[in-house]
Structure 1
């Protein structure tokens, strides 16, 4: 397994991974119809492609040569001092094998001036909370609009200091 920068040709596989993991994780929380609508909006190929072109961001995949097993997307804020981890997902069948940690480490290494990593996580997503807590993150607040300003999706905010 190796981690590399995502490219345009990866986008269909990344979308498939996101659709799979979102349904597996969030159908029981939000319902399959709402998850499908979020996937169609947030994980549309055009939405994913727009992330590739951001200069203040890093979009990476975990690839074993035959399958993309995970992906992560993060951007810089606060003049590069804070990394906002927007997405980190690993295929259901590949979780628990260190792929998430590899992706997180690469994201952190991609922002050498950062002193904090921040992310939002659904409060009912115990597996993700367990992962981030094991990686040194602590709860730092909450939001009523996870992912974007008008989402209406509540989430916990976690942070990890890097210095």
Structure 2
């Protein structure tokens, strides 16, 4: 797998990846119907397309030349001092192979001015929490947005400039 910037031609594959990973990750937490509702809204082609031109952001895919195995999206806030990792997903059958780490490293490298990276994660998503903690993230006392109807855990990692 190699990591590159996402493009228009990737949007259908990114949507398929997000739908698959969301169902694998969240059906047991939210129920399949709610996951379908969320993915239809948040991961529509139009929603994904808007990310391609969003200022101070990075939209990445992990690609092996045959399929997209992972996706990440992050944006810079606070005049570039902080990065917010909005998404990092790897296909279920490819998890545990270093793809998430490659995407995370590229996100961090894409924002050289940043001093910290922040993310929100569903507290029942124990695999993601273990991944982030293994990659130097520490849980904050902050509570994240409740877009899913549940409070999210907030994790931060300082970045060396």
TM-score, scaled relative to structure 1: 0.95
Shift of 1:95: 0.3
Tell me what 1:58 maps to: 58
| Mapping 1:48-87, distance limit 5 Å | 48-87=48-87
Which whole-Å CA distance do the structure 1 matches of 2:74 and 2:136 have between them? Answer: 18
- Kindly indicate whether the alpha-carbon contact (under 8 Å) linking 2:120 and 2:144 is maintained by their aligned counterparts in 1: no
Shift of 1:55: 1.6
Which whole-Å CA distance do the structure 1 matches of 2:3 and 2:14 have between them? Answer: 14
Tell me what 1:137 maps to: 137
Which whole-Å CA distance do the structure 1 matches of 2:144 and 2:112 have between them? Answer: 30
- Kindly indicate whether the alpha-carbon contact (under 8 Å) linking 1:142 and 1:154 is maintained by their aligned counterparts in 2: no
Tell me what 1:124 maps to: 124
1:162 to 1:144, Cα distance in 2 relative to 1, 3 A: closer
Shift of 1:145: 2.4
Which whole-Å CA distance do the structure 2 matches of 1:35 and 1:122 have between them? Answer: 13
1:42 partnered with 2:42: yes
Which whole-Å CA distance do the structure 2 matches of 1:41 and 1:158 have between them? Answer: 25
- 1:156 alignment partner, one of 153, 156, 159: 153
- Kindly indicate whether the alpha-carbon contact (under 8 Å) linking 2:6 and 2:60 is maintained by their aligned counterparts in 1: yes
1:91 partnered with 2:88: no
- Kindly indicate whether the alpha-carbon contact (under 8 Å) linking 2:69 and 2:94 is maintained by their aligned counterparts in 1: yes
Which whole-Å CA distance do the structure 2 matches of 1:61 and 1:114 have between them? Answer: 21
Give the RMSD, CA atoms, in angstroms: 1.0
Gaps of 5+ in 1: none
Tell me what 1:16 maps to: 16
Q: Aligned residue pairs: how many?
A: 160
Shift of 1:144: 5.4
1:144 to 1:98, Cα distance in 2 relative to 1, 3 A: closer
For residues 63-117 of structure 1, the C-alpha deviation after alignment (integer angstroms, 9 at most, x for no partner) is 0000000000000000000000000000000000000000000000000000000
- Kindly indicate whether the alpha-carbon contact (under 8 Å) linking 1:144 and 1:152 is maintained by their aligned counterparts in 2: no
Shift of 1:154: 1.7
Gaps of 5+ in 2: none
Which whole-Å CA distance do the structure 1 matches of 2:144 and 2:116 have between them? Answer: 22
Which whole-Å CA distance do the structure 2 matches of 1:153 and 1:42 have between them? Answer: 16
